[in-house]
Amino acid sequence: MNVHVNGGRPGDPAGVIDFAFLDEIIALRHDLHRHPELAFEEKRTAGVIARYLLSYGYTVQEGIGGTGVVATLKRGRGSKRLGIRADFDALPITEETGQPFTSENAGVMHACGHDGHTAILLAAARYLAEEVAFEGTLVLIFQPAEEIGAGAKAMIGQGLFERFPVDAVFGLHNWPGVAAGRFGFVAGPAMASVDQALITVRGKGGHGASPHEAVDPVLASASLITALQSIVSRNIDPLETAVVTVGSIHGGAASNVIPESVELKLTLRAFTEEVRARLETRVPALARSQAESFGASAEVKYRRGFPAVVNDEAETAFVRDVAERNFPAGTVIADFRPRTASEDFAYMLQARPGAYVFVGNGEGAPLHSPHYRFNDDIIAPAATLWVRLAETFLS
């Protein structure tokens, strides 16, 4: 059953809206893809977004949290206020897709689909302005600098929700490997927190032929890498989730020289603050003890990133119900599971109730790959979800 509230097109069939202007939105997405910009440098992107929103009849404020854009549209006498967020920054990756609209900004690429998220919200914004007579206020948040985990915090720090109050806020992310246009909903922890550790293991350099005269930080580091996985298997409740990944190790320059030091870079992920705190305690403790067991020492610099994305139960149930009532059976994935990737939308969910939604991008390269391709076929289904959410929420 397809529900149309206060002026939605009563002739629309259940399922995806037939957006008459979809080709224009796809062309816009390709333009954004061709001109990607890194965190807090997205001046062109923000300007394009603002121009489109102004042409749709929204009141637009630019420069919030650096390059953020917020658009509002009030209809009727309703007091409810709905926030929907899209991100629009790119990554420092050299594109290798070969698409005709490949990035023209060397070494910068929309390898996470933020250009697509922006196109989705702009499609919904236009349709809501032209076709739906809702009651209340739409607050559309276009956020910079998600990839470095700073944009949401910057916008909130500049009074985002005081200047543009909302009763609830929603966002979404495309997900490769999930069938295109299908939706995933997770109540509670949906994406992990992310922290980083830089470990420097210091020994005593020497000749590779005389290891007994040196203190080998390479050997100590190798042992430490193995030992770090004992945190997950022996220090974390087996029913909880944690990730300890050593993504980088550097030390030495020659095969016959034992270096003075080795540097390791770690990423740490968790769904709860309790597990997150446990990782923060155990990683430095284990690094130091392992190093000392080899006669070396370890210095640990631990930096917290952003928290887990924790969806509110009520808001998640609400948006899931909207999807189940407005799309064919099977569109909503019954058993969609949390992701251990991270998202700074977490800060918005700490400030206001809401939910973060996943939409399948189809088969293809993963996020953050130079071969990643956003699937234009998911723009219409995802924009339809935002339209149906808005007309139901603001009724």
Summarize pLDDT for 132-186 with one digit per residue, the tens: 999 999 999 999 999 999 999 999 999 999 999 999 999 999 999 999 999 999 9
Both structure tokens of 295 = 């006669």
Beta bridge partners of 339: 191
Residues in CB range of 186: below 8 A, 6 or more apart: 311, 316, 336, 337, 338, 358
Q: What is the mean pLDDT of residues 75-104?
A: 97
CA distances from 385 to 165, 187, 212, 213 (A): 22, 17, 66, 67
Are β-strands 81-87 and 261-270 bridged in parallel, bridged antiparallel, or unpaired? unpaired
Backbone angles phi, psi at 86, to 5 degrees: -130, 150
Per-residue confidence (pLDDT) for residue 287, from 0 to 100: 98
Per-residue confidence (pLDDT) for residue 368, from 0 to 100: 98
End-to-end CA distance of the chain: 17
Both structure tokens of 226 = 């193995």
Q: What is the C-alpha separation between 343 and 88, in angstroms, rounded?
A: 13
Q: Is the dihedral of CA 357, 27, 133, 165 positive or negative?
A: positive
Query: Mean pLDDT, the chain, as a whole number?
Result: 96
Planar angle of CA 368, 370, 371, nearest 5 degrees: 105
Provide the strand spans (E) within the chain: 59-64, 68-75, 81-87, 136-143, 168-176, 183-184, 188-191, 193-202, 206-207, 242-250, 257-258, 261-270, 297-306, 309-311, 354-362
Q: Which run of H or of E encompasses 21? A: none
Number of neighbouring beta carbons within 10 Å of residue 67: 27
Per-residue confidence (pLDDT) for residue 145, from 0 to 100: 98
Q: What is the mean pLDDT of residues 74-91?
A: 97
Residue 262: Cβ-neighbour burial (10 angstroms; 0-12, 13-18, 19+)? buried
- The answer to whether 14 and 141 are in contact (CB under 8 A) is no
Number of neighbouring beta carbons within 10 Å of residue 379: 27
Q: What is the C-alpha separation between 180 and 188, in angstroms, rounded?
A: 24
Residue pLDDT, tens place only, 182-200: 999 999 999 999 999 999 9
Beta bridge partners of 347: none
- The answer to whether 191 and 342 are in contact (CB under 8 A) is yes
Give the pLDDT band (50/70/90) at residue 14. Answer: low
Residue pLDDT, tens place only, 37-70: 999 999 999 999 999 999 999 999 999 999 999 9
Residues in CB range of 277: below 8 A, 6 or more apart: none
Give the pLDDT band (50/70/90) at residue 11. Answer: very low
Burial state string for 144-174 with b = 16 or more CB within 10 A and e = fewer than 16: bbbbebbbbbbbbeeebbeebebbbbbbbbb
Q: What is the mean pLDDT of residues 243-270?
A: 98
